[in-house]
Structure 1
Amino acid sequence: MSAKTASVHWEGAGKEGQGQISTETGALDHVPYGFGSRFGDDRTGTNPEEILGAAHAACFTMAFSFACAKAGIATETLDTTARVFLVKDGDGFLINRIALTLTARVPGLDEARFQQLANDAKENCPLSKALASVPEITLEARLQD
């Protein structure tokens, strides 16, 4: 079993408040976030949705790489983006869609097997499983020559 830790320190109320996000590895170390970086155009901080997207993209990419290795297929490069859509839901908000896009260079892998491995990785990576309540998680997988 593995447990990883992240923490937040928040000061102030509501829209005027500001937080700082840190992780035990130090990859995020007092990274600021607040209303402006989540709902506005403040690019000096982060927000929960982009962190979730980064985590999902990383998890999916690793799952795909491991699935290829298990099948005896060597991956050359894998680039994944995750777009997390936050929408108004009554008085609150809801993540209603995550769109994963994978661009892969995997010599010798045919398109059908590539799509199968990519879709299996999307369905079975731990973050996809944890995000099962998101109504729609899509995958666009492109195999490069």
Structure 2
Amino acid sequence: MPVSKAHASWNGDIPTGSGQFNAGNNITGGVTYKSRFEDGPGSNPEQLIAAAHASCYSMALASALAKAGFTATSIETDASVTLRPVDGVPTIIKIELVTKGDVPGVDADQFREFAEGAKAGCPVSRALAAVPEITLEATLA
């Protein structure tokens, strides 16, 4: 399996400086204090974590369904990452996953079961196991 790589740099102090990052062939962005901690324009690492989690989770769910003989027409997943101070230190305290699947032949209970299994088995979910709360809302289209 390939090794995934990214690069980041930061210039200046934290309140007025800025950073840049790139990953893969076409993921680039800039980050500032305001984009990370004050909802200002730009990107932040938590958005990248959300994107990684949503995409990994969607693939894990599609894979679990396929192994059981079901082909998903589509799986759409949104991820929200909440960053808050804990003991004065910025900490990811919650990730919310909301997924909707169009899966012929699967009923709502089966889908939720597959969805929970994918949440537990997704490599990014496992990497983020230290996050105190990871929730999942799973529905069929």
What is the match of residue 27 of structure 2?
Answer: 28
What is the match of residue 92 of structure 2?
Answer: 95
Alignment of 1:1-145 (within 5 A): 1-23=1-23, 25-29=24-28, 31-43=29-41, 45-144=42-141
- Structure 2, unmatched stretches of 5+, are none
Could you give the per-residue CA deviations for residues 80-102 of structure 1, whole angstroms, max 9, x where no partner exists?
Answer: 00010101112211111100000
- Code of the residue aligned with 1:9 in structure 2: it is S
- Tell me how far 1:26 sits from its aligned partner: 2.2
Cα distance in 2, alignment partners of residues 42 and 26 from structure 1: 26
What TM-score, normalized to structure 1?
0.93
CA RMSD of the aligned region, Å? Answer: 1.0
- Tell me how far 1:77 sits from its aligned partner: 1.1
- Tell me how far 1:40 sits from its aligned partner: 1.8
Cα distance in 1, alignment partners of residues 39 and 127 from structure 2: 29
- Code of the residue aligned with 1:40 in structure 2: it is E
Cα distance in 1, alignment partners of residues 32 and 48 from structure 2: 13
- Tell me how far 1:42 sits from its aligned partner: 2.1
- Code of the residue aligned with 1:22 in structure 2: it is N
Number of residue equivalences: 141
Which secondary structure does the structure 2 equivalent of 1:46 belong to? Answer: coil
Cα distance in 2, alignment partners of residues 142 and 111 from structure 1: 7
Detail structure 1 runs of 4+ shifted over 6 Å in the superposition. Answer: none
Could you give the per-residue CA deviations for residues 106-135 of structure 1, whole angstroms, max 9, x where no partner exists?
Answer: 111111211111000000000000001001
Give the percent of matched residue pairs that are identical in Structure 1 and Structure 2. 40
